[in-house]
Structure 1
Amino acid sequence: MGVGAAIIVAIGIVLMFLLTQATNNRELYEQNYGRLFIVNVVVAAILLAVLVWVCFRLASRLRRKKFGSRLLVKLAAIFALVGLIPGLLIYVVSYQFVSRSIESWFDVKVEGALDAGLSLGRTTFDTLTTDFSKQTRAAASQLAETPDASAGLVLERLREQLSATDVVLWNGSGQMIASAGQSRYQLVAERPSPQQLRNTRTQRATATIEGLDEPSTGGAASQARIRALALVPQPSIGLLAETRYLQATQPLPQGLVANAVAVQEANREYQERALGREGLRRMYIGTLTLSLFLAVFGAILLAVILGNQLARPLLLLAAGVREVAAGDLSPKPVLQGKDELGGLTRSFAEMTQQLADARAAVEKSMDQVSAARANLQTILDNLTAGVIVLDGEGRVQLTNPGATRILRAPLAAHEGDLLSSVDGLETFGAAVQQQFDEFMNERRQHSGVDHWQQSFELNTASPGSQANIVTLVARGAEMMPGRSRLLVFDDISEIVSAQRAQAWGEVARRLAHEIKNPLTPIQLSAERLEMKLSGKLTGADQALLGKSVHTIVDQVDAMKRLVNEFRDYARLPAAELKAVDLNALVTDVLHLYTREGDAERGAAHVPVVAELDAACPPILGDPQQLRQVIHNLLQNAQDATEGCERREVTIKTKLNATSKRVRLLVQDTGPGFPPHILKRAFEPYVTTKLKGTGLGLAVVKKIADEHAARVDLKNREDGGVIVGAQVSLSFAVAG
């Protein structure tokens, strides 16, 4: 690890040096490029060997299935990726950036801009030179009439006019005649060359720029100047007139000279680097590649070091957690280090010991609680009575299956809701809450009160159908602690119904016995009276006698029929169940409801439509009692349509394949059942007919109970309007 760290530091120092020196000292990099390439290859080989060695060790640990090897692999992979992925990303981005940046340095636009800058500088200098040449020529014209003796004063004025630093008047042989400016203080003035004099004689005026090519730093800007040489015109034509030349020197603007020199220097450097841009690119890419190798090597080194440092305590904790998860709470090993991970192992060992102690205590308590809870749950589940635990505001906290069965509501799904908010139990919940409130008030006044008891009637039927009245007897008390409220109730509907049926049966039996005995003597006495007096009375008296006797006999027959119905209801025999084809039985009974059958029974004809399901299997039933049921239902349906515009009765059979039961339905087009009749439709002597006894549906209910059949009674509606009534019975399939 120390050798690896030293190598990283050394390579880092080399890279830092190369990065600082590469741009300004490209020759140094190109000279050492071969050696750097060899170092690059060696470092890559070392890195590859290290990677292979690490991968081999990790693979060996995995093959031996050594505990913690996966964690070590995961940690090493995470740390390696932390260094590798950012390194690759930076390398790719830098590679693209360097390649494109170097290419952009030598773009055609850059070269064109430099050329344009050079051209602009030359043009500017040419313009300044031309202008200064013209000004000097114009100034030379002013010396045409000036003799040599007084030329000094005129030159001083011309120097100021031309903004020149030096003005000299030369003769044709290159001898100074007069001067103004800096040349006055020079021992030997710089005279123009013969070539310059000849050119001036030919062109009348010449100008040159001097001082731009001097290499001294800052010298070009301070010494750059324009030197113009103009021919002084002669006042007269003569062979003896001497030729004179006016020389003027004007400094160039320092800013303009500095910019021109900078553009020229940039163009020179650009051309030099354009020639060596491939070498520059290799230099940067090589440096980036070395940086990438350094990052990869550092990432792997950190992965191994940090992975081992983190894995050891983590593996110790993982082994301990695995043992604890398996139920082993024996003392665990700890690390003695002072860091947080060492402290974590010690805390884990202490926690394990505490868990072992606590588990022993909890197991003992849980055994007791589980036994008590199991006993309580067994008692609640097997109670036929319903049990509900409520809080102080009437919210459901706990229920048993008996409560769901009795109230016909999914109470388990409403835990946490108010009992009065459960569909169908609004009235019951409000009444129970009121009883508890009264009980709590009474308890505060009389401490000896420990419960309340009350009976309730609950309608569990849907709107528009036969009322299903459930009679409950409920008992309530307060539970401690927590102030919860216990509600226990039981369904006594069958007991009440059985008591009511028994009472009605006893009434019917006694009524039949008490009424039937005097009926026969009354009928015989009336017939004997008619026989004795017949022929002894005249006209109107004889007619009155016959009419009265006939009325007595008819009413006695009606009373006998009523008594027989009472007797049948009270003495209805037990059903003898066997396989019965319900469709065939219905078809047989319907023969009596044709027009001829109605005529024989003295009834008005009401058409009966049969819709029989051919898939109905035989049912368990007593044919005679089922025939009586069908007769009663059809007769009631026909009677219900009396006075209606549309009179029709429909009888249907239908198989429910899911429940394996057969339904018998009788529907009419009458006005339906009033609400008060729906609530008590199957009680004896409850009827809407003026001449009815109210025993028809009571007999049907009694026979249905003998067959373990469900009876439903409801009004049929269409768009909220009652269009008739429906009675249905559900029978079990035979076999």
Structure 2
Amino acid sequence: MTKQARWTWIVASFAMTGAGLVLAFLLSVATNPALYERHYVWLFWVNVAVATALLIVITIAGVRLLVRVSRGKFGSKLLLKLAAILALVGVVPGVLIYTVSYQFVSRTIESWFDERVEGALESGLKLGRGTLDALVSDLATKTRLAAERLGEAGGSEPLALERIREQLSAQDVAILGAAGQTLLTTGSTTADTWMPERPSPTLLRQVRNARVVSQLEGLDEDAAATGVAARVRAIASIPSTTFALGDQERYLVVTQAIAPALAANALAVQSAYRDYQQRALARSGLRKMYIGTLTLALVLAVFGALLLSVALSNQIVRPLLLLAEGVRQVARGDLSSKAVFASRDELGGLTRSFAEMTAQLSEARDLVERSVSQLEGARANLQTILDNLTAGVIVFDRDGRIDTVNPGATRIMQLPLSAYVGKRLDEIAGLGDFAQAVWQRFEMHAASPEAGERDHWQEAFELQTSTLDGRERASITLLVRGADMPQGARLMVFDDISELVSAQRVEAWSEVARRLAHEIKNPLTPIQLSAERLQMKIAPKLEGTEKAMLERSVTTIVNQVQAMKTLVNEFRDYARLPATQFEAVDLNALVHEVLGLYGSQQEAGRLHADLDAGLPPIVGDTTQLRQVIHNLVQNALDAVADRPDGRVTVRTEAPRSDSGTVRLVRLHVVDNGTGFADKVLKRAFEPYVTTKSKGTGLGLAVVKKIADEHGARVRITNLHAPATGGDAGGEPRVSGAQVSLSFSKLAPASASGAVATVSAAAAPATARIP
């Protein structure tokens, strides 16, 4: 049982007990109106306090129930209906009994004050008073006559008094002096103990004036309570027959007892008449008091019925409320353990079944959450893999729109592909032809896949990328793989194989160079010797213009053969570099040595050196590194040859970590020329790729091969300056180029002579023009 239910039962029990006590009290005082009247005020305020408290409790309970109904809480209407039915069952009989009791009390009180009853009480009172008055008057007359006889006799002997007592059938007879003192007494009471009560001076004056005075004693409630017997006492003045100056007045006191039955009847009639008059005066208040108490009993009974109805309704509705609360919690996603109604009926079984169902749902949800967590983990792992793949990945939905793009695709395409999610690939500027070729390949694979392409297809595409404003960029070669996915989606994975193709070209050129060097170099020397021998043999025999023409022809042959030899030597050097001899190399000293060959350029301010003084030695071949520096410096000077403000800077640096450790040594050759075209950047290290009008284009190719031999990273970048003037708001303009070599193989501090070759890779570095 809940705390609320226990409290309801306690209050209801209190109310029913109070109603029983009130009814018992009414029954106990119904036969004792005096007790009822004495506690009228106390009972009235108790009734008011109890009725007020009950009204407050009933009002609170009713308001709470109405609030539940107004808020639409589940079960509140059913609770209200059950409470109303049970309350009706208790209230209607109570109201019926109250109506009957009200009429009964009203008519009964009215019957108490009937005019005939009042007349009978008044007649009985008058009859009693007349009888007593007759006794008093008769005793007064007899006492006066006895006093006169006693005065005429002139004596006051005890015998005379005893005779008077017997004649008057008196209880006591006494003679009093002028001051009321007792002179002589006789009576049925013992003479030694009985003394007549001394009359007051006022009473004695009345006796002197009226000669006799009589009165009733012991006929009031106080005398009856003290046990004093009812009696009639008469006092008469005894006349004096002499005229002596010393005579004093004397009084005869006669006391006659009243029959106890008469006295009791007289007191009863008197008390009944007085009570009747009092109740007649308080008839309206008495009626209100009885009806108010009856109303209190009704209120207590009704209150108890209401509380019991609420308690019983709660007991019936509570399982439904538990189910309602459980359903709301489940609707909010709370699948914790649910309360069960402790009963063996069908409602209790329903709550137990709901609790078991909720527990099963909780287990199922936990299983789903674990599965979702695993799925999210797998998705996160997949996303991490996609984000870190060097290959580009694009997923298309069934309508051909971009659904997923990884950073690799953005890097390869050099376009913000993630901004085009939800659009088709052909809607991206510059990718229309590529998209059409890819979709044709998808359709071809779906219609008639080739052998070995049952699950996916693979093909290389040459893509000419462009900027968002339509400017053409370098051409890249993509190796694209496509596959169909569930629900009509399609997957495209592609790699930039431009460097691989470039390496293949380099390898092809190396083979061509090797063959050319072998096939061409051998005939060149005989050709040159033959031409010179012809000149030596024929020249002396010719004169004039013929001799001059012979000399010009031989000179041309010799010069062209020499050029061919130079070209063949360059091809030979590119195809087969000499064996590398690694040793500790001071890169700063090597730069100083090479720049010494360009003294005029340094004096003209076109060539500068910015060298890191704390540069550690690297592992390398001095001859090959000298050739690298020479090639890079010469190319940079050629790039700024047409610029009056041309400037070339050779910089070395050794980046240090937070702990001061040096892991790389970098060489930068920077110029402020026109930079490299976008098309050239991708193929700058291939033979015969050059921006010069003269030259073979083998310089950077040789630099790349030597860098690879040294395990160094070489990077070519264009330098940009902020747009100014008319270019404001556009893209930054090219303000030069930079070639960077990063050496990761450092010589030990105690190194001397040759050291072992160590294969390592270093991250590219860039520098800005100082």
Task: Give TM-score, length-normalised by structure 1.
Answer: 0.46
Structure with max Cα Rg: 2
